[in-house]
Amino acid sequence: MRTANIPEVYAEWSDRMTSLVAEMPGYIAHTSWRDQNSGEGVTIAYFDSEASLKNWGGHPVHQRAQHLGRVEFYQEYTVEIATITSRHSWRLADS
């Protein structure tokens, strides 16, 4: 859950992390959602390996953002790391 602290600084760091993660070796994609009413959000980043994910977690600028998250931007948050063992997609064919 985000705090109301310095939203303009949060937005700057969020944009910075969006750019930085996309430059990381092993990065595949990421996506984010935020509920405007509750302020709760989810960001999912996909990497090609656990090693690539660890490099992202250890990047000094990302670590600075994590620190700011704990002291300025969030009341609480949860980090979950998962391995995708299968993925299926479906799309309605164009008419």
Structure-block tokens of residue 45: 């980043």
Least confident of 34-38, 44-48, 56-60, 69-73: 34-38
Mean pLDDT of 3-22: 89
Structure-block tokens of residue 37: 């009413």
The answer to whether the predicted template modeling score (pTM) of the entire model surpasses 0.75 is yes
pLDDT of residue 95: 65
CB atoms within 10 A of CB 73: 20
Domains within the chain, CATH numbers bracketed: 7-73 (3.30.70.100)
pLDDT of residue 38: 80
The H-or-E segment that residue 91 falls in is none
The H-or-E segment that residue 33 falls in is strand 27-34
Query: What angle do helix axes 7-23 and 60-68 make, rounded to 10 degrees?
Result: 150
